[in-house]
Amino acid sequence: MCGIVGYVGRAEAGPILLDGLRRLEYRGYDSAGVAIVDGDHVETRKCAGRIAGLSKLMAEDPAAGTYGISHTRWATHGKPTDQNAHPHFDESGKLALVHNGVIENYAQIRETLLQESEHHFKSETDTEVLAHLVGKIYDDSAKGVTDPRRHKALLVEALRSALQQVIGTYGIAMVHADIPDFIVGARRGSPLVLGVGKDENFLASDVSAIVAYTRDAVYLNDFDLVAVERDKFEISSLAGERGNHSISKVEFTAEDIKKGDYPHYMLKEIFEQPGSVCDAMRGRLSLEECTAKLGGLNMTPAQLRDVGRIVLTGCGTALHAGMVGEYLIEQLAQVPTEVEYASEFRHRNTPMTRDTLVFAISQSGETADTLGALRESQRKGYRTLGVCNNVASTIARESDGGVYMHAGPEIGVAATKSFTSQVVILTLIGLLLGRMRHLSTAEGTCIIEALEALPEKIEQLLKTSDQIKAVAQKYVDATGMLFFGRQLNFPIALEAALKLKEITYLYAEGHPSAELKHGVIALVKPELPSVFIVPDDAVFSKNLNNIEQVRARKGPIIAVTTESGAAKLKGIADDLILVPDADDAVMPVLTVIPLQLFAYHLAVALGRDVDKPRNLAKSVTVE
C-alpha cells in the first residue's frame, strides 16, 4: 500500500523522485524518503509525515545524483517515525532498499542474521531486515571481485537469493553505492511497473507516478526481478530464467491525473461520473438485439447459458457494488448469485458447483485479498473473470476474461466513479444473461433505455451539489449516522456509510430498513441522524413505516427520494435530497451520488483531509 519511485538517467534524480511521490501520495502518507547515489555514497533524506515535509527537507539540504529510489509509506511494521521511514540500509550503509508489502518471516531472518554476524538494526520494520539480508549475501559474494559488470550480476543474485528465503509479499527497488547507474527491482503480490524512456528508465508501484515522463511501460509479473540501467533493462524470474515482456502504451496522460479547478480529487471524480458511466457502457449495448455485448468475457453463448451460479467477490466499495450486482443479476437473469468478502472467500472452503462463474471486482486490479480470491477460485478449477479499471493490472492479466471499466484514473482514496462504473457493468452482465434466458425484448429495451438516460440524469443530479452541501452543513455536530435502504438500495446504505466513515471519521452503519426494529432502533436518538434511501418504488410504503418509527423517537431524518416520494415525505423527513425518477435497475447509481456528495461536503465542513483520510490508502496490496 506504499508508493515506490525509482529513476536512472541523465537528469537530477531528486526532483523526478519527489514529483513521482507526490503523484503516489494517495497510496501512503505516513512518511516518505529518498536515497540518491552521489559518487561512492548514498545520500538519504526521510521523515515522518507527508511529502511536503520531505520536499522541505530536500530544499534545505539537496541530494545530488542521477539515479536513486524513493518511497511514501503506509505503516505496517513499526510506527510512522523518521527511523521507520524508507529507504532502509544494510549493515554496510551502501545498499539502500524500499519495499511495499509484508515480510512475514522477518523476525526469524533477523534472529538468524544476529546469530551469524554483527548487525545493527535502527528501525522496527521488516524492510530493514530484508536490506540487511540482501546486503550480507552481496558482500559475501562480492569479496575479491573487481569486474564492475560482475558486481551488477552479483547484486541481482543477492536479491534473488534473499527473496528465495522470504515468506510474504513485496514490491522492491534497490541501489548500491558501489554500482553506479543501476537499480534492481522485484515484485510478488505488490505491483511494480518499469517505465521505459530515452536514455532514462523508471520503476514505480503505479504508472501514474511516471506518466509525465514516459507512456511506455512494462508491467512486471509476480516473481519477476528487473535490472535497470539508463539505456537498457533485463527481466528474469526468481528461478533465474530470462523473461520476455512487451512494452505497453499507457492509456492516460499526466493531464488526466490533475485536479484541474477542483479543490479535491474526490469532488473531481464525483463530477466525472456522467462520462465514466457512459464509458462503462460505450459500445456494449445492442438496441437491435436488446442486450449487452461483452466480448471480453471470453465465453461463448453456450457457455454463458450453462452458468448455473455466480459468485461476486471483492472488498470495500467493490463488495458493495457486487451486492447491487447480486440483486440485479438475480432479478434480470434468474441466476442464483451470492457475494463473498474476498478475504473470507480465499481462506474458507466455499461449496461451489461446477457450473459456477466467479467475478473478482477491483478498481485497481491489485487488491491483495481479491487477487488471492481469484487465484483460489482458479486453483479449484472455476472460470474466474475480472471487473477492474486497470487493463494491465494483475487481476486483468491473470483472470480468464472480464470487463474493463474505462473509468479513468481514480486518485481519491474514497472510491466514487469506480463504484458507479462497477454497478453499470454488473447491470450489463445481468442484461446479457437475462436475454439469453427469459428476459423479453421489451424488458431488455427498457433496461437499455434506462442505462442510456443515466449520464444526463447524473448531470442533473450534480447540479444539486450546493443544496446537498447545505443539508450536510446542518449536521456538523452529529456524532454519527445510520443509513437505511431496501432491496437494490440496501447496498447503497452500506456504501454511503462507508464513504462517511472513510472521510469524516464519524461512526456510521448501513442496514436494511426492516432491520431497524430488530435491534438497530435502540441506537435512535436526537443526536444521531438517520439517512433513508427511499425512491418512490414498490417498497416505499414499507420504508415510510420505518421512517415513522424513527420520527416517533425524535431521530433526525434525511431522505434521499424521487420527486413523487418527496411529496409523500413532506412534513415527515427533516431534510430531502431529490434524485430523478428512473427504472429500479439503475436507481442505485442515482441514489449513491448525492450521498457521495453529502459525505464529501460534511468532511470539508469538518476540516478533514478528504483525498488522504487518516489510516487509509487507495490500493490495498497487503493483507
Q: Return the biggest CA–CA distance within the chain.
A: 86
- Distance in angstroms (rounded) separating the CA atoms of residues 257 and 360: 26
What would the grid cell of residue 230 be? 539508463
- Band (193; pLDDT cuts 50, 70, 90): very high
The one catalytic residue among 46, 94, 136, 618: 618
Q: Is the pLDDT assigned to residue 300 strictly greater than 80?
A: yes
Residues of the chain with CATH 3.60.20.10: 3-257
pLDDT of residue 145: 87
Q: Is the pLDDT assigned to residue 621 strictly greater than 70?
A: no
Residues of the chain with CATH 3.40.50.10490: 260-461, 464-623
> Is 618 part of the annotated catalytic residue set?
yes
User: DSSP labels for 437-486?
Assistant: TT--HHHHHHHHHHHHHHHHHHHHHHTTHHHHHHHHHTTTT-SEEEEEE-
Instruction: Fold for 3-257, please state it.
Output: Glutamine Phosphoribosylpyrophosphate, subunit 1, domain 1 (3.60.20)
Helix-then-strand count for the chain, H and E: 19, 26
Q: Is the pLDDT assigned to residue 249 strictly greater than 70?
A: yes
DSSP assigned state of 250: P
What would the grid cell of residue 368 be? 491483495
Highest-scoring range by mean pLDDT, 96-100, 239-243, 408-412? 96-100
Instruction: Fold for 464-623, please state it.
Output: Rossmann fold (3.40.50)
Q: Is the pLDDT assigned to residue 622 strictly greater than 90?
A: no
513-555 pLDDT, tens per residue? 999 989 999 999 999 999 999 999 889 889 888 999 999 999 9
> Is 136 part of the annotated catalytic residue set?
no
pLDDT of residue 388: 95
To which residue does cell 501520495 refer?
Answer: 25
pLDDT of residue 136: 96
Contact 135, 120 (CB under 8 A): no
For residue 364, how many C-alpha atoms fall within 13 Å in the half-sphere facing its CB?
Answer: 29
Q: Assess if CATH 3.40.190.10 describes domain 260-461.
A: no
- Band (78; pLDDT cuts 50, 70, 90): confident
First to last CA, the chain: 10
- Band (1; pLDDT cuts 50, 70, 90): low
Q: Average pLDDT of 387-402?
A: 92
Three-state SS string across 473-521, please? HCCCCCCEEEEEECHHHHHHHHHHHHHHHHHHCCEEEEEEHHHHHHCHH
- Percent of the chain at pLDDT > 90 equals 81
Q: Is the pLDDT assigned to residue 321 strictly greater than 70?
A: yes
* C-alpha distance from residue 192 to each of 108, 575, 618 (Å): 26, 47, 16
Which residues does 511 contact at the CB level (< 8 Å), separation at least 6?
A: 482, 483, 484, 490, 493, 520
Smallest CA-to-CA distance from 385 within 295, 302, 321 is with: 295
Residue 164 burial (10 A CB sphere; 0-12, 13-18, 19+): exposed
- Report the interhelical angle of 126-142 vs 148-163 (nearest 10°): 140
pLDDT of residue 26: 75
Name all contacts of 167-170 with Cβ < 8 Å and 24+ positions apart.
167/103, 167/104, 167/105, 168/101, 168/102, 168/103, 168/104, 168/105, 168/106, 168/126, 169/101, 169/102, 169/368, 169/621, 169/622, 169/623, 170/99, 170/100, 170/101, 170/103, 170/130
The one catalytic residue among 2, 278, 290, 315: 2
